[in-house]
Structure 1
Amino acid sequence: MRELTDKELLQRIQQNDVSAFETLYLRLWESLFVFAMKRLGSEDDAEDVVQEVFASLWAKRHSLQIRENFDAYLYSAVKYKVINKVAAMLQNPEKLELVRESLLPAVDNAAETLQSKELQAIVNQEVQSLPEKMREVYLLYIEQHRSVADIARVLSLSEQTVRNQLGLARTRLKKSLQHAMLFTFLC
């Protein structure tokens, strides 16, 4: 017997099929839990969030109108529950310390939370926005693995200019990635 797609499972869930709900739950629970855990820093809170999302899914099963990308719908639901949970934690002094402790590693590891395609798109967009000479230096260095001396020779620049351009490019890329990662963590 072939494995049902998420869309097929959702259709069956809308018809009160408990086994379809269990199948979907078992298929997606772990990845949603990890997603919530990275943001909350607490297994119990992450578990609560995912349980709430699945309970809500079952309660609203007859009115769901998800045509495409059911995974994205569930991740968004978890994301909003996480935001609400963090807001509640900020009101509780004991939980506030847990939030502080979980924020620092989460920001450091935020790249893990971005899909590689999204991360690459951000990098590509930022590289394209670099000034022409800086972009040229950066691409020769990163994509063609050219040395500073070789780039200086090819572009008729001093080696110091090449190093300066690389440093500026890295700084700009780092800032844009930090903003994207922080946004991803908060969202």
Structure 2
Amino acid sequence: MDFDQQFLLKLKNGNKKAFEALFLSTYESLCDYSVSITESKEDSEGAIQDVFASIWQSRSTLDTTVNIKAFLYKSVKNRSLDICRHKDVRQKYQDQIKALYQSTEPGDTNTTVRLIKRVREEVENLPEGVKMVYLLHRRDGLTYNEIAQVLGISVKTVESRMTKALKMLRTNLEKEMDLKLLPLLAIFLP
């Protein structure tokens, strides 16, 4: 067993010093790499924290034969790209909401605000496992695979919980929909 495998075995067994050593020895280079993708130190730090949190949470299933540095760079790259994509999507939605507010009449704005509040209320009323999947995907921007890893469930379970969340939200919110607000609802329930 070589040094990397021994190190990964310690990490897999929950050795916090091994985890800390991995973090400290790779953080700067991973941060530089991530900044080259996200063009933001803050986003890069978030990406790296997400990757290390995921590693720690799923350490018991860690493959001790993997090249850990290659794995870290690939994970940071994927998370950084996810952050960039989600920033683009978020900006598009913010532009849509802004356009919606500008195109509505004064009374319609109150309706929009009420709908947003209702969506949030309905999300809070979802069953806990369903709500967690919905929020991790829609609010935090995690992929189904990432959610499965974080929660320790299968991707199929993530898919079924997301389907259930969307169905419940659509059913509960359909009654309150106004045609002018359809684009806003589509933001929350694509």
TM range (shorter): 0.3 to 0.5
Which of the two has higher C-alpha Rg? 1
TM-score, with structure 2 as normaliser: 0.45
